[in-house]
Structure 1
Amino acid sequence: MEQQVKRVPYGVSDFVSVIEQNQYYVDKTMFLPDLEKQPDNLFFIRPRRFGKSIFLSMLYSYYDCNQKNKFETLFGDLWIGKHPTSLQGTYQVLFLDFSQITGKIDILEERFNAYLCIKLDSFVEQYAAYYGSEKVVEIKSKTEYADKLQIIFEVAKAKQFQLYLIIDEYDNFTNVILNEHGEKVYHAITHADGFYRDVFKKFKG
């Protein structure tokens, strides 16, 4: 019988799609127990096309409380499927992709706010069962991402929700700025009171 050869998902960064379509996947789930022993803020630096994005997508699926019941389907054939950790499916996960933020330098901060607002609105809709309809409406009524985030943090702290933030392509647009506008502009948005630095301060709480 001819053995079926799995397709290589070149350029595909969605873990769920790769697994559900039975595409070739390099299992790196054996590193999850080690990652959980590390400090809370992890920083992955690897070459391009090294699999960072699909690894982050895998983390999302593994820790997302809304995907807890899909564990066997998604991870059953992987290492972690036989060695699950206690944190599997226990987080509300916010997944951000900063490569989606584009635009001219003079409207970049506005674009950043718009993108984060969309993602935070989607986040509370995704976990509406935890926040309740009134809080969801309140959060979505805010026009600044910082205000939305503040409410989410307050509710999560009061109700002891576990939050997990994943940022993919964190340096995508800053590299573009550095290359196209120079070090002075890059420094202005990433240092001191620069809005990009402020974004990370807000997420740290």
Structure 2
Amino acid sequence: MKATKGIPYGMSNFRNVVEQNCYYVDKTMYLPLLEDQAHYLIFTRPRRFGKSLFLDMLRSYYDLSQKNNFQKLFGELWIGKNPTPLQGKYQMLYLDFSKIGGSIDELSQKFDAYSAVQLDELLMRYREYYDDEFVARFLSTKTGLDKLHMLDDEARRLGYPLYLIIDEYDNFTNVVL
């Protein structure tokens, strides 16, 4: 007998939704359609409409570091039975702009500091793909912008595809207004 599924109200972590047996409206059948679209997508929906959970599902699906968890996370969903060739192929950079607070005067500094931390975390997650010399140079670099350029250049040189997801991108507008 299956346990009653919980309602994932306010949850934006796809893995937690699956592992905690929460009700999930399967939208994975749209992934092949998204892959046929332009490389830059913007999802606009009202608040509390599941955007963050959808983006986290995309992260789990395309993330190279989650490739071994594919059946566990997606086995019961449409995409679990119909995976695309891009499943588990990307090094993922996930930025949540709601984590960047402060006044308009602090915005640039806080954005750069947040980006630097997230880029360091990305490099450590995919550490096995980069040589020691690059890792040392990368970790000694201070600004997020410089780290982003370094990672982009090195990943391109080595043929590693990167995927950027930005959640809560309207946060800057909310801070400015």
Interval of TM-score (by shorter of Structure 1 and Structure 2): over 0.9
Match of 2:76 in 1: 77
How far apart in 1 are the matches of 2:3 and 2:101?
41
User: In structure 2, the residue corresponding to 1:93 is in which secondary structure?
Assistant: strand
What amino acid does structure 2 have at the position aligned with 1:108?
Answer: L
Name the residue aligned to 1:41. 40
The answer for the alignment partner of 1:189 in structure 2 is none
* In structure 2, distance between residues paired with 1:120 and 1:4: 39
Q: Is 1:120 matched up with 2:119? A: yes
Deviation at 1:134, TM superposition (A): 2.2
Q: Distance in 1 between matches of 2:90 and 2:38?
A: 17
Identity %: 56
Alignment match, 1:173: 172
Tell me whether 1:13 sits opposite 2:8 in the alignment. no
- Which one scores higher on RCO, CA 8 angstroms, separation ≥ 6? 2
Q: Which runs of 5+ in 1 are unaligned?
A: 179-205
CA shift digits 1:144-175 (9 cap, x unpaired): 11111111111111111010000000011322
- 1:87 alignment counterpart: 86
The TM-score normalised by the length of structure 2 is 0.96
Contact 2:104/2:175 (8 A) holds in 1? no
* 2:136 is equivalent to residue 137 of structure 1: yes
Q: Given residue 18 of structure 1, which amino acid in structure 2 is its aligned partner?
A: V
The structural deviation recorded for 1:90 is 0.3
User: Following TM superposition, by how much is the alpha carbon of 1:8 offset from its aligned partner in structure 2, in angstroms?
Assistant: 0.3
C-alpha displacement at 1:77, in angstroms?
0.2
Shift of 1:132: 2.3
Aligned alpha-carbon RMSD (Å): 1.1
* Superposition deviation, residue 52 in structure 1: 0.3
Where does structure 2 lack aligned partners over 5 or more consecutive residues? none
2:26 pairs with 1:27: yes
Q: Secondary structure at the match of 1:164?
A: strand
Deviations 1:38-61 (A, max 9, x none): 000001011111100000000000
Q: Distance in 2 between matches of 1:161 and 1:45?
A: 29
Cα deviation 1:92-137 (Å, max 9, x = unaligned): 0000000000012211111111000000111101111111232122
Provide the C-alpha distance between the structure 2 equivalents of 1:80 and 1:105, rounded to a whole number of angstroms.
42
Residues paired across the two proteins, number: 177
CA contact (8 A) 2:103 2:175 kept: no
The aligned runs of 1:50-61 (5 Å cut-off) are: 50-61=49-60
Deviation at 1:21, TM superposition (A): 1.2
